[in-house]
């Protein structure tokens, strides 16, 4: 996913907190992070999700913007 208007805000403490939230949400929902990368304006994630969950459910549960504010 990318930031609004691709602003470069994922740096420093914001990037660290975003990583923590992503890891917490994945652990709480039994989602494995296969690989991931964070740039100042976007995030790449390759996730292994349980068969009982759809991709839309994962994205809904991980609304990072709501958890960051």
E strands in 1-69: 32-38, 43-48
Q: State the chain's mean pLDDT as an integer.
A: 85
**Per residue in 50-66, pLDDT tens?**
999 888 887 776 666 56
State residue 12's pLDDT score.
92
- Tell whether the model's pLDDT for residue 2 goes beyond 80: no
**43, 14 Cβ separation under 8 angstroms:** no
User: What are residue 43's DSSP bridge partners?
Assistant: 38
| Residue 67 pLDDT class (50, 70, 90 cuts) | low
| Cβ neighbour number for residue 26 with a 10 Å cutoff | 20
Could you identify the residue written with the tokens 């939230």? 21
State residue 25's pLDDT score.
85
Residues whose CB falls within 8 Å of the CB of residue 50, separated by 6 or more in sequence, listed in order: 30, 31
């Amino acid at each position: 996913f990318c930031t609004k208007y691709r602003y470069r805000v994922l740096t420093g403490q914001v990037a660290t907190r975003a990583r923590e939230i992503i890891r917490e949400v994945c652990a709480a929902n039994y989602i494995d992070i296969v690989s991931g990368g964070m740039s100042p304006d976007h995030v790449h994630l390759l996730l292994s999700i349980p068969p009982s969950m759809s991709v839309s459910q994962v994205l809904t549960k991980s609304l990072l913007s709501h958890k960051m504010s």
